[in-house]
Amino acid sequence: TNAESRVGDFDFTTLSIVPGVMDYNGLRYRILDLPGVIEGAHQGRGRGREVISVLRSVDLITIVLDPYKPDPQYILSELRRAGIRMNEIKPKMSIVRKDRGGLNIMAVGRVNADIKLLESVCREFGIINADIVIRESMDVERFIDGLVGNRVYVPGIFVMNKADLPEFREAFESLISKGFEAIPISVSKSLNIDLLKERISRAVRMIKIFLKPASGEGDDEPLVVREGSTVEDVCLSLHSDFVEKFKFATIVGPSVKYRNQRVGLEHVVGDGDVISIYIKKG
């Protein structure tokens, strides 16, 4: 990544946040090498608050282990205490607060808790009058996550470094036996680095689109957006005026059936799309 991040044979070689850039498949990814997460990080130990603050804003978390500390469970526990849910999705539940009428909790999916207990939890969080609809199977902890609303849900991958060491195989197999999927690498020997880049790219799920004025040549530099983004998301990334004055857009690319097809704000863009946005005058 062209960053001077130290590599050592001891724990916590990285003592500060080291930024870098990873080029892969025509895209540039900003990589932040963070100090190791230690027990008590969620309470501020070992620059924990600074590290946690960064982790709450990233698109992907890569947890790097080694043969001497192969168990990521304490790291996941610290992230959990800090409100970070790695490789989970936001609870499928809706909350509509009311002025009166009490609590009405309706479960579409299976709830592994008594409704009376959930009502008690709601009152603990100051929710007295509300209609709550649960649309998935969930336990009390996940119900609380949905109530609180300040959790962040971040994809993550596990990496075990130092694959060139004799101790590596046993530690790696132990990690896999616990149900974790991990990528074996060796930074010092440049082993599986391209594989790691590919996995990062796949997990982040970014695509390239190109903007083209209504008249003239298109941009050579792509605009990078998250997979599943709509034309409205593209407009907002440029300026909110593009949404307010939007007429239509035309697209040449894989997301449409024919060249220069007209689409609206709700259209989902595809990798490699060339997009022209038309706005109202005045």
Pick from 88-97, 237-246, 250-259: least confident: 237-246
Residue at 9 is within a domain: no
- The residue from 128, 148, 168 where one domain ends is 148
> Do 183 and 264 reside in the same domain of the chain?
no
First to last CA, the chain: 45
* Residues whose CB is less than 8 angstroms from the CB of residue 135 and which lie 6 or more positions away in sequence, other chains included: 92, 93, 94, 108, 109
CATH number at residue 44: 3.40.50.300
Are 269 and 225 in contact by the 8 Å Cβ rule? The answer is yes
Residue at 103 is within a domain: yes
> Any alpha helices (H) in 82-230, and if so which ranges?
115-124, 140-148, 168-177, 193-204
> Do 100 and 61 reside in the same domain of the chain?
no
* Residues whose CB is less than 8 angstroms from the CB of residue 110 and which lie 6 or more positions away in sequence, other chains included: 137
> Do 117 and 235 reside in the same domain of the chain?
no
| 47: nearest Cα among 76, 72, 12, 73 | 12
Q: What does the pLDDT read at residue 109?
A: 74
> Do 140 and 257 reside in the same domain of the chain?
no
- The residue from 148, 166, 182 where one domain ends is 148
Residue at 123 is within a domain: yes
Residue at 3 is within a domain: no
> Do 163 and 66 reside in the same domain of the chain?
yes
* Per-residue pLDDT reduced to its tens digit, 36-80: 786 776 776 767 788 889 999 999 999 999 999 888 998 999 999
Residues comprising the chain, all counted: 282
* Confidence at 122, pLDDT banded by 50, 70, 90: very high
> Do 84 and 170 reside in the same domain of the chain?
yes
SS3 content of the chain, % helix, strand, coil (to 5): 25, 30, 45
> Any alpha helices (H) in 96-218, and if so which ranges?
115-124, 140-148, 168-177, 193-204
- The residue from 102, 125, 148 where one domain ends is 148
pTM summary value: 0.76
> Do 156 and 270 reside in the same domain of the chain?
no
CA 24 and chain centroid, separation: 18
> Do 221 and 101 reside in the same domain of the chain?
no
Residue at 196 is within a domain: yes
- Could you count the other beta carbons within 10 Å of the beta carbon of residue 132? 21
CATH number at residue 235: 3.10.20.30
Residue at 250 is within a domain: yes
Residue at 56 is within a domain: yes
Are 195 and 182 in contact by the 8 Å Cβ rule? The answer is no
Q: What does the pLDDT read at residue 25?
A: 85
Between the CA of residue 145 and those of 56, 119, 150, 262, what are the distances in Å?
Answer: 15, 15, 8, 41
Residue at 2 is within a domain: no
Percentage with pLDDT > 70 across the chain: 92
Residue 174, pLDDT > 50, answer yes
> Do 59 and 165 reside in the same domain of the chain?
yes
> Do 116 and 171 reside in the same domain of the chain?
no
| Mean pLDDT, residues 208-226 | 85
Domain containing 162 equals: 18-88+152-204
> Do 180 and 78 reside in the same domain of the chain?
yes
Are 268 and 249 in contact by the 8 Å Cβ rule? The answer is no
> Do 181 and 260 reside in the same domain of the chain?
no
Domains held by the chain: number: 3
Mean pLDDT of the chain: 89
